[in-house]
Amino acid sequence: MNTINNNTDFLLSIENLTVSFDGFKAVDDLNLYVDENEIHVIIGPNGAGKTTVLDLICGRTRSTDGSIKFRNKELTDMREHEIVREGVGRKFQNPSIYEDLTVFENLELSFPRGRSVWGALTFQRDQDVKTRVHEIAGMVFLDELLDKQAALLSHGQKQWLEIGMLLIQDPELLMLDEPVAGMSVSERKQTAKLLNEITKGRSVMVVEHDMKFVEDIAHRVTVLHQGKILSEGSMAKVQADPKVIDVYLGH
């Protein structure tokens, strides 16, 4: 039988993905799958290729080879904004919020622009936006701070605001690069709660070094090393893997 069925039940299906920078393979023949409603965490030493994987998915970096399918649609030849429109949201390591605007305004600005420009619909739209902003602010622990200027938020609150700015776009896959770096212990706990909350109805891919945090959120863990998978499975499984202890956790 020569029939090849390339369709998959996974939300995200990465196969044979490779990117080469002047001959150096930062991601090397990677296969990685993300289910619906899954929190999938990528860990591994610095330079393992974790951020590059997220860059490839969101179209910031072009692959050299391989395939990235999101709902069975090939992403590797799409532009960044088209990938966003498909339902993939990405948070970078440093929060990119508008410091001089309020929390409310930051969230409002991130509300997806509709195609309609008819004036008659404006009032209803304003109400919808307001309701949604309040809803999201509640989820990211900022509902009491809607009128506060973003510059005055704590580092952790800025991270939450940016997560909120992504959530308001309602992505089906949300990607976060080191979301708890620089956060206090209690902020980390709250962020874990937040991520567990928002996975109802979407999938999340997280790159993180904080093992306690990873333990609190991960449904599945992929350990990357030199652009390849070193180990994969539950947190308990990868933590007990001698290869992982050797190149990463033991340090």
Which stretches of the chain bind Mg ion, using CB under 5 A? Answer: 50-51
Taking the chain, what is the end-to-end CA distance rounded to the nearest angstrom?
49
Nearer to ligand ADP, 31 or 190 (CB): 31
Residue 21 within binding range of ligand ADP, rule CB under 6 A:
yes
Name the nearest CA neighbour of 237 among 17, 11, 43, 54: 43
| Residue 241 backbone dihedrals phi, psi, to 5 degrees | -75, 115
CB of 209 to ligand ADP, least distance (A): 9
Residue 47 within binding range of ligand ADP, rule CB under 6 A:
yes
DSSP 112: P
Exactly one of 26, 176, 183, 205 binds ligand ADP (CB under 6 A); that residue is 26
Residue 63 within binding range of ligand ADP, rule CB under 6 A:
no
| Residue 32 backbone dihedrals phi, psi, to 5 degrees | -150, 135
Tokens (6 digits) for 80: 């960044």
59, interface contact from ligand ADP, Mg ion, none, CB < 5-8 Å by kind: none
Nearer to ligand ADP, 52 or 222 (CB): 52
Residues belonging to the chain = 251
Cα angle 59-87-77, degrees, rounded to a multiple of 5 = 30
CB of 162 to ligand ADP, least distance (A): 18
CB of 27 to ligand ADP, least distance (A): 8
Residues that bind ligand ADP (CB under 6 A): 21, 26, 44, 46-52
